[in-house]
């Protein structure tokens, strides 16, 4: 199995009339329980990580772990950046292979939020 795009997973869910849960993981044990349970239920799942998760584990390590678990459990997984705030950091993670992003611009003034949305919208629509 493999890592799939969140967009693909959610489009399939919409057509099939079911929901897809996303779980923020912070360690290997949590990820293992989430993936094992999803595989046993034959249910799609999104593995999400906060900026702290990606900093602690390392982007490349986390992507490799998700890929390895997808193969181990023969179950497709999606990976998502949850509440990431720094555009350059997000861009680096997207270049590394992440295909789902929630940009958190809540700390910015309105004008900056608009610019961030425009900048992200131009960079991320292919995901």
- Within its chain, how far is the Cα of 103 from the centroid? 12
φ, ψ for residue 37, nearest 5 deg: -65, -45
Assign 124 to helix, strand or coil.
Answer: coil
Environment class of 100 (CB within 10 Å of its CB; exposed 0-12, middle 13-18, buried 19+): buried
Residue 89, H or E segment:
helix 87-96
DSSP code at position 77: B
Q: Is 82 a catalytic residue?
A: yes
- Within its chain, how far is the Cα of 117 from the centroid? 18
- Within its chain, how far is the Cα of 77 from the centroid? 9
Q: Which of 82, 88, 89, 104 is catalytic?
A: 82
Active-site residue set: 82
């Amino acid at each position: 199995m493999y890592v799939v795009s969140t967009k693909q997973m959610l489009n399939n869910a919409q057509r099939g009339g079911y929901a897809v849960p996303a779980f923020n993981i912070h360690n290997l044990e949590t990820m293992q329980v989430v993936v094992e349970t999803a595989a046993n239920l034959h249910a799609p799942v999104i593995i999400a990580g906060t900026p702290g998760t990606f900093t602690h584990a390392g982007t490349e390590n986390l992507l490799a772990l998700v890929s390895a678990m997808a193969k181990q459990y023969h179950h497709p997984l999606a990976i998502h950046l949850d509440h990431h705030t720094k555009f350059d950091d997000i861009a680096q993670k997207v270049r590394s292979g992440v295909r789902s992003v929630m940009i958190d611009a809540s700390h910015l003034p309105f004008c900056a939020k608009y610019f961030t949305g425009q900048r992200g919208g131009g960079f991320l629509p292919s995901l």
